[in-house]
């Protein structure tokens, strides 16, 4: 891959216009991307990158996948939006499909993002007549005010406190602590099957089954946030169905989805099973765009393609290849994760420098902490994409270490 070029007007010009026109909520953009194909993207200077971030676990089918392009184009030629005064075939078909994948009866509320799906679920728990929600330390559930109240990271919370809700935090993966915190005052327990924001952290395999038993005994709902782990990310449709992650069978009361569901078209889903699916009455909640036929058609195309192309199996196989490539360098001290949700720990606190060095070398990477990195690429990531990273990985870590020590990364 070509050497980086930060002097050409493409990325510089877009960066300057971005700074003048957009609120500074994300910091300066790393570059301006203009096109993509498969698991590769191209910036405004024509430089190509292997995308190992996938829009933060969103681009399930990669970029410009023909099935997604066709579905969106065809649906746009029929109906894009009709309001929720009306039903549309894609909306109904998607809800039925998601319930079938969960393998249980229930009801679906469609939103526009993971945070909105969690907001809907948060409100749904209030319909139990209880208010307290027990959540895990290290969890991330979104940045809207309700979802933020359920998110433990102090840096996200403190500028906006006081936050709504009656929320109790417990250590993640500790079933004894969970049992001690849950009683008949608890409306719901909210857990991620794997914590993504924390750096791809999985609990003990019996944690969710024990959480299910604890919530059953207290009459509380078990709410699983699969916003990042759902739709094939770990090699099964939902992470709580993955025998590599969860021992036994867990049937949650609520599952929230978003990121990978429509392959990049904004969508969120709050799925409530059994009686929980009937807690909302008309007027209790709403959304203007949620469940619109364009997003629903995109999601159906994603689900169809995952099945047709056997991407669940590919996620598992390619994830194993990726973990082996990353672990081959002894500066990687731990490799975690299942399927194409991979986290690593580095021997030194050079994760940010590795992201920069990776971009210089033609790879889009992500740091989740000083020494932690997360890899959540498209499920269509190829063996060649992984092999390219494997060849470049030692050089990326060399450059990261040099930059951290104040030397040249060249």
Residue set of the binding site for pyridoxal 5'-phosphate: 114-115, 140, 225-228, 288
User: Is the previous residue joined to 162 through a cis bond, with omega within 30 degrees of 0?
Assistant: yes
Which residues does the annotation place in the binding site for N(2)-acetyl-L-ornithine?
143, 287
Q: What DSSP string describes 173-185?
A: T-HHHHHHH-STT
3-state SS class at 345: strand
Distance CA 141, CA 117 (A): 9
Distance (Å, rounded) from C-alpha 164 to C-alpha 173? Answer: 25
Task: Give all strands of the β-sheet with 166-170 in edge-to-edge order.
Answer: 106-111, 268-273, 254-257, 221-225, 186-191, 132-136, 166-170
Residue 303 and residue 311: Cα distance in Å, rounded?
Answer: 10
Q: Which residues contact 246 (CB under 8 A, 6 or more apart)?
A: 193, 205, 207, 208, 209, 239, 240
How many other C-beta atoms can be found within 10 angstroms of the C-beta atom of residue 89? 14
Binding residues: 114-115, 140, 143, 225-228, 287-288
Cβ-Cβ contacts under 8 Å for 213 (sequence gap 6 or more):
none
Q: What is the DSSP string of 21-41?
A: HS-SSS-S-S--EEEEEBTEE
* Helix, coil or strand: residue 342: strand
Question: Which stretches within 166-274 are classed as H helix?
Answer: 175-181, 207-218
Query: How far apart (Å, rounded) are the C-alpha atoms in residues 170 and 154?
Result: 14
Interhelix angle for 293-308 vs 89-102, to 10°?
Answer: 40
Please name the residue ranges forming H helices in 255-310: 293-308
Q: What is the DSSP letter of 201?
A: B
Tell me the backbone φ, ψ of residue 406, rounded to 5 degrees: 90, 5
Given a contact cutoff of 8 angstroms between Cβ atoms, the answer to whether 5 and 360 are in contact is: no
What is the β-pairing status of strands 40-43 and 33-37? Answer: antiparallel
């Amino acid at each position: 891959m070509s050497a980086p070029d930060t002097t050409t007007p493409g990325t510089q010009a877009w960066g300057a216009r971005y700074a003048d026109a957009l609120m500074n909520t994300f910091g300066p953009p790393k570059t301006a991307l203009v096109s993509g194909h498969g698991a590769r993207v191209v910036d405004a200077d024509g430089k190509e990158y292997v995308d190992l971030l996938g829009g933060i676990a969103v681009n399930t089918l990669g970029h410009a996948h023909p099935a997604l392009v066709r579905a969106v184009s065809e649906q746009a030629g029929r109906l894009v939006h009709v309001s929720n005064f009306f039903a549309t075939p894609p909306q109904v078909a998607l809800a039925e499909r998601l319930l079938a994948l969960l393998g249980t009866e229930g009801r679906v509320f469609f939103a526009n993002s993971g945070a909105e799906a969690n907001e809907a679920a948060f409100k749904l728990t209030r319909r139990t007549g209880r208010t307290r929600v027990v959540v895990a330390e290290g969890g991330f559930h979104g940045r809207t005010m309700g979802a933020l109240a359920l998110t433990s990271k102090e840096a996200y919370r403190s500028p906006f406190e006081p936050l709504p809700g009656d929320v109790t935090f417990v250590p993640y993966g500790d079933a004894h602590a969970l049992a001690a915190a849950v009683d008949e005052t608890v409306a719901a327990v909210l857990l991620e099957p794997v914590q993504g924001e924390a750096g791809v952290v999985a609990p003990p395999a019996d944690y969710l089954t024990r959480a299910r038993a604890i919530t059953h005994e207290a009459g509380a709902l078990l709410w699983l946030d699969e916003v990042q782990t759902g739709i094939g990310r770990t090699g099964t449709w939902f992470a709580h169905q993955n025998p590599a992650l969860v021992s036994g069978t867990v049937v949650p009361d609520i599952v929230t989805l978003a990121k990978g569901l429509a392959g990049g078209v904004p969508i969120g889903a709050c799925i409530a099973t059994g009686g929980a699916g009937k807690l909302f009455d008309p007027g209790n909640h709403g959304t203007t765009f949620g469940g619109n036929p364009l997003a629903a058609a995109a999601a159906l195309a994603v689900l169809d393609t995952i099945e047709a192309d056997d991407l669940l199996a590919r996620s598992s196989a390619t994830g194993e290849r990726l973990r082996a490539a990353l672990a081959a360098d002894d500066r990687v001290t731990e490799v975690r994760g299942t399927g194409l949700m991979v986290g690593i720990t580095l021997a030194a606190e050079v994760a940010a420098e590795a992201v920069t060095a990776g971009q210089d070398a033609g790879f889009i990477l992500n740091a989740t902490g000083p020494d932690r990195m997360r890899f959540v690429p498209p499920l269509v990531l190829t063996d060649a994409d992984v092999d390219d990273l494997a060849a470049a990985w030692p050089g990326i870590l060399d450059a990261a270490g040099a930059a951290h020590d104040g030397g040249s990364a060249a």
